[in-house]
Amino acid sequence: ANSNPKVWATRWTFILAATGSAVGLGNIWKFPYMTGVNGGGAFVITYLICIALVGIPIMMAETALGRHGRHNPIQTMFELAKENGASKNWGIIGIVGVLSGFLILSFYSVIAGWSLSYMVDGVSGVFPSLQGDAAGEHFSALIASPGKLILYHTIIMGFSAFIIARGIHEGLEKSVRFLMPALFVLLMLLLGYSAFTTGYFMEGIKFLFVPDFSKITSEAILAGMGHAFFTLSLSMGAIMAYGAYMPKDAKIGSTIVTVAFFDTFIALVAGMALFPIVFANGMEPASGPGLMFISLPAAFGQMAGGSIFGTLFFALVAIAALSSAISLVEPAVAWIIERFPVNRAMATIIVCALVWLLGLASVFSFNIWSEIKPFGKTIFDWLDYVTANILLPLGGMAIAIFAGWVMKKEIMEKELSLSHGGFTLWRWLIRIISPLAVFIVFLNSIS
Ligand code: PHE
Ligand code: NA
């Protein structure tokens, strides 16, 4: 095992940390509700195609760029541009990435806080009382309370700061070694519960895997692609930062396939666990973002063992969100440490305090600022929309072009360690297919 403070102990710790980053609210909250809204199976297939053709190649590229640069994402992009004889402006990718990460974390932490709040409510036995309108009212009461939202947002940011301040080995590695197995066990318990007690398991499977292509709109395709970026934590510096700590001899190609497999597997299992619960209780799969915070708690309240499993479910969500949040703190912290004469603890405090402050805008957009809707969306909706549907796809496209056209072929070949055929395929995907896919999907959605 490696004791270099800037390198993961083993390839498996990278896998755990990168999977920790990837698996989050995207898998357990966003993926099921987007699937519900976009009509089920056809959306799932669109999303899987985006993961395979665009997500995985770009995730490999980001990891390889990170490891080759061995710095924070901003400095890495500037140095790689220089090393490969390209314009310094490519460095902007790093800056925009770290900034997007900031924006995402600011609202991500607020939603993670909702899960924590439901977990606490679950412990006090609230689910059985959430019948009929009570479930919606419970949720409305939570988001109407700036104090509660700020409290839980602060707890999430506080935990993230604590982990990141302790560094790569003592903080990141130790936390994911505990969090990821816990997440897996909880998810399997929930799947078993859903499969054996609801009686609607097959309805859930059909909804997820039997496509109805008449339901596919260009908006749904953009959403599927944006989500492929979001769910794999791409174009925000997170994976590039984690890649910078990867041992030199680890094979990036196969490692990333493993991480992407886990992320996809967990999203699908979350869907398989949740939809039967939704159907068994006669609820609408297309209820949108409220699916997890209104329909599910109500459903848990009606079921035998629902209080316990509901509480475990929200614990699972909070854990998944925490291991993602830390990966959004690390890139900015790494940048500050390398760029300014500041230690890790101080850099962590600066980053987390700024993100916390920005998070208040999301908090208030659910209550005291809920009427402020420039162009019809609240601040929270704008942050989500602009990051997932614009910044991430464009950032990903820029990374693909950089890795495919600017980076020297030999460097990428060596870093990825794919088979000959695998590398040829990767190069086609990264140079042509993924930039083109992003471009077309993007044009389609704005026209
Ligand atoms: N991938 C995370 C999820 O699915 C979200 C995330 C995005 C985390 C970017 C880190 C960086 O929830
Ligand atoms: Na994810």
Question: For 134-193, what is each residue's pLDDT tens digit?
Answer: 999 999 999 999 999 999 999 999 999 999 999 999 999 999 999 999 989 999 999 999
Candidates 233, 323, 330: which one to mutate for ligand 1, based on the most atoms within 8 Å of Cβ? 233
233 lines ligand 1 (CB under 6 A): yes
Instruction: Look at residues 224, 227, 190, 261 and name the one whose alpha carbon lies nearest to residue 18.
Output: 261
Task: Tell me, yes or no, if the pTM score tops 0.90.
Answer: yes
75 lines ligand 1 (CB under 6 A): no
Average pLDDT, the chain: 93
Ligand nearest to the CA of 319: 1
Question: For 63-85, what is each residue's pLDDT tens digit?
Answer: 999 999 999 999 999 999 999 99
How far is the centre of ligand 1, averaged over its atoms, from the C-alpha of 27 (Å)?
A: 9
How far is the centre of ligand 1, averaged over its atoms, from the C-alpha of 396 (Å)?
A: 14
How far is the centre of ligand 1, averaged over its atoms, from the C-alpha of 230 (Å)?
A: 5
The pLDDT value recorded for residue 78 is 97
Query: What is the average per-residue pLDDT within 440-444?
Result: 80
User: Does the pLDDT of residue 445 top 80, yes or no?
Assistant: no
Name the closest-CA residue to atom 7, ligand 1.
Answer: 233
27 lines ligand 1 (CB under 6 A): yes
The pLDDT value recorded for residue 3 is 61
300 lines ligand 1 (CB under 6 A): no
Decide: 204 and 276 in contact? Cβ < 8 Å: yes
Share of the chain above pLDDT 70, in %: 98
User: Does the pLDDT of residue 446 top 90, yes or no?
Assistant: no
Query: DSSP letter string over 61-129?
Result: HHHHHHHHH-S-HHHHHHHHHHHTT--GGGGHHHHHHHHHHHHHHHHHHHHHHHHHHHHHHHHTT-GGG
CA distance 192 to 389: 34
327 lines ligand 1 (CB under 6 A): yes
Amino acid at 142: L
25 lines ligand 1 (CB under 6 A): yes
How far is the centre of ligand 2, averaged over its atoms, from the C-alpha of 366 (Å)?
A: 24
Atom of ligand 1 nearest to the CA of 324: 8
Which range scores top for mean pLDDT: 179-183, 221-225, 237-241, 374-378?
237-241
How far is the centre of ligand 1, averaged over its atoms, from the C-alpha of 23 (Å)?
A: 7
Question: For 32-46, what is each residue's pLDDT tens digit?
Answer: 999 999 989 999 999
C-alpha distances out from residue 33 to 43, 276, 288, 324, 378, Å? 11, 13, 5, 19, 19
145 exposure class (CB count in 10 Å sphere: 0-12, 13-18, 19+): middle
231 lines ligand 1 (CB under 6 A): yes
Q: What is the CA radius of gyration of the chain?
A: 21
The pLDDT value recorded for residue 1 is 58
The pLDDT value recorded for residue 385 is 87
Query: What is the average per-residue pLDDT within 288-303?
Result: 86
- In the block, which residue shows the tokens 């519960």? 193
412 lines ligand 1 (CB under 6 A): no
Which residues are CB-neighbours of 118 under 8 A, at least 6 positions away? 293, 297, 310, 314
319 lines ligand 1 (CB under 6 A): no
Three-state DSSP state, 9: coil
Name the closest-CA residue to atom 6, ligand 1.
Answer: 233
- CB-proximal residues (5 Å) to ion ligand 2: 22, 26-27, 231, 263
Decide: 52 and 263 in contact? Cβ < 8 Å: no
317 lines ligand 1 (CB under 6 A): no
Phi, psi for residue 420 in degrees, rounded to 5: -60, -50
How far is the centre of ligand 1, averaged over its atoms, from the C-alpha of 117 (Å)?
A: 20
Atom of ligand 1 nearest to the CA of 263: 4
Query: What is the average per-residue pLDDT within 373-377?
Result: 90
How far is the centre of ligand 2, averaged over its atoms, from the C-alpha of 361 (Å)?
A: 24
**C-alpha dihedral sign at 42, 310, 388, 325:** negative
How far is the centre of ligand 1, averaged over its atoms, from the C-alpha of 241 (Å)?
A: 14
Decide: 69 and 78 in contact? Cβ < 8 Å: no
User: Band of the pLDDT at 409, cuts 50, 70, 90?
Assistant: very high
The pLDDT value recorded for residue 207 is 93
How far is the centre of ligand 1, averaged over its atoms, from the C-alpha of 337 (Å)?
A: 23
59 lines ligand 1 (CB under 6 A): no
